[in-house]
């Protein structure tokens, strides 16, 4: 059997960067290289590159901004994945696409892959449209729903907490929203396995459920619990959304994953050439 040619879309994003490490031979396209909302270009790029597998990590992920820019959210997260699926159906490539726990409203608390979605914000609605566009355009897809991503190279909760902790005596964090934190490196490694499994929807997160406050308390020493009412937001969020994986083996606990991430961060800081060691 020949080697598998993989194309990663959204390669500069937080998850995209982790995927590039796991698939070092993959062809990488960033937002600058390919605009997902341009149907002709999406189809032409896939046709030209001829990948066996397309992994799409590109998305409009700013949950608050999606409320304001509804049209853009639906074009990027809804129609864009549909164009990629059309392209993959045309060339016979497998499509791996990432979706979110925000396709659920949180009332059931724990969700298996077959539970009916009911998003309560624009981001979740746009991501759900993406799922249905993919399923409507091709058969050989893997949709991986995940949640609360953290990892190097992105704006994420762990980095925000570390920064706030240095600036403030006490960091207030909401203690009434629950979910499953997930390390991008673990998810990227697991993606390799999912490609070899049957088409369909997969729920992939690190193990363990916690509130944002509990998560924060594992990162910094000065977190203090508060309610969501103290931090009003435009986008509603599910109060409790735990994705249950019924299709493949579990990943490690988020606390182990967090330790690995914090260890890696420290090693980067200590590496020769890093700012702490005289680099610029
Ligand atoms: N982050 C989370 O907590 C979380 C939770 C559940 C699911 N997910 C899903 O996981 C996937 C990866 O998320 P992430 O956190 O790695 O996202 P991210 O860091 O925001 O990266 C997304 C990438 O998509 C690119 N992009 C945005 N609009 C585009 C467009 N119109 N055309 C082409 N590229 C575009 C962005 O480029 P620019 O920055 O240059 O625009 C960015 O590089 C997404 O599908 C997301 O919905 C994320």
2 — pLDDT class (breaks 50, 70, 90): low
Does the pTM surpass 0.85? The reply is yes
Q: Please compute, for residue 90, the number of CA atoms within 13 A of its CA located in the half-sphere on the CB side.
A: 16
Distance 1 CA to ligand 1 centre (A): 33
For ligand 1, say whether the CB of 187 is within 6 Å of any of its atoms.
Answer: no
What structural domains and CATH numbers belong to the chain? 6-156+181-207+242-252 (3.40.50.720)
Residue 41 in contact with ligand 1 by CB distance below 6 A: no
Share of the chain above pLDDT 70, in %: 95
pLDDT tens across 20-65, in order? 999 999 999 999 999 999 999 999 999 999 999 999 999 999 999 9
* Predicted local confidence at residue 273, as pLDDT: 52
The answer to whether the CB of 202 is under 6 A from ligand 1 is: no
CA distance linking residue 16 with residue 136, whole number of Å: 25
Question: 51: closest CA among 42, 59, 60?
Answer: 42
Please list, in sequence order, all residues whose beta carbon lies within 8 angstroms of the beta carbon of residue 127, skipping any fewer than 6 positions away: 59, 77, 78, 99, 100, 102, 103, 119
Confidence of residue 267 (pLDDT cuts 50, 70, 90): confident
Cα distances (Å, whole numbers) of residue 196 to 34, 140, 147, 224: 27, 11, 22, 43
| Run of H or E residues at 46 | helix 39-49
| Ligand 1 centroid to residue 154 C-alpha, Å | 10
Q: Ligand 1 atom 5: the closest Cα is on which residue?
A: 147
Structure-token pair, residue 64: 């608050």
| Ligand 1 site-directed mutation target among 18, 58, 191, most atoms within 8 Å of CB | 58
Distance, in Å, from the CA atom of 240 to the CA atom of 211, rounded to the nearest integer, reads 9
Q: Report the C-alpha gap between 265 and 150 in whole angstroms.
A: 12
Is the CB of residue 59 below 6 angstroms from any atom belonging to ligand 1? yes
Contacts 24+ apart (CB under 8 A), 64-72: 64/233, 64/234, 64/235, 66/121, 66/122, 66/123, 66/126, 66/235, 67/121, 67/122, 67/123, 67/234, 67/235, 68/234, 70/122
Q: At residue 163, does pLDDT exceed 50?
A: yes
Contact assessment for residue 220 and residue 187, using Cβ atoms and an 8 Å cutoff = no
Q: Is the pLDDT of residue 1 over 70?
A: no
Please name the residue whose Cα sits nearest to atom 13 of ligand 1: 15
Q: By alpha-carbon position, which residue is closest to atom 17 of ligand 1?
A: 13
Query: Are 150 and 157 within 8 A, CB to CB?
Result: yes
Place of tokens 């799922």: 131
18 pocket-lining for ligand 1 (C-beta < 6 Å): no
Q: How many angstroms is it from 77 CA to the middle of ligand 1?
A: 9
């Amino acid at each position: 059997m020949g080697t598998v040619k993989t194309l990663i879309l959204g390669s500069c994003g937080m998850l995209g960067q982790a995927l590039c490490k796991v698939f070092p031979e993959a062809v990488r396209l960033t937002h600058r290289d390919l605009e997902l909302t341009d149907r002709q270009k999406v189809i032409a790029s896939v046709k030209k590159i001829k990948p066996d597998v397309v992994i799409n990590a590109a998305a409009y992920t700013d949950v608050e901004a999606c409320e304001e820019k509804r049209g853009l959210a639906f074009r990027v997260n809804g129609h864009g994945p549909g164009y990629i699926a059309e392209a993959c159906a045309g060339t016979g490539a497998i499509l791996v696409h990432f979706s979110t726990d925000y396709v659920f409203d949180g009332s059931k608390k724990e969700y298996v892959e077959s539970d009916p979605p009911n998003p309560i914000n624009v981001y979740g609605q746009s991501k759900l449209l993406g799922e249905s566009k993919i399923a409507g355009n091709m058969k050989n897809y893997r949709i991986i729903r995940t949640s609360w991503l953290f990892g190097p190279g992105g704006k994420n909760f762990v980095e925000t907490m570390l920064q706030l902790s240095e600036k403030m005596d006490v960091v207030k964090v909401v203690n009434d929203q629950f979910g499953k934190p997930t390390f991008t490196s673990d998810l990227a490694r697991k993606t390799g396995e999912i490609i070899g499994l049957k088409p369909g929807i997969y729920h992939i997160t690190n193990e363990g459920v916690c509130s944002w406050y509990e998560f924060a308390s594992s990162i910094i020493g000065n977190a203090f619990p508060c309610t969501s009412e103290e931090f009003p937001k435009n986008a509603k969020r599910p109060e409790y959304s735990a994705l249950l994986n019924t299709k493949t083996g579990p990943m490690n606990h988020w606390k182990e994953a967090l330790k690995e991430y914090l260890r890696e961060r420290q090693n980067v800081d200590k590496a020769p050439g890093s700012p702490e060691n005289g680099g610029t």
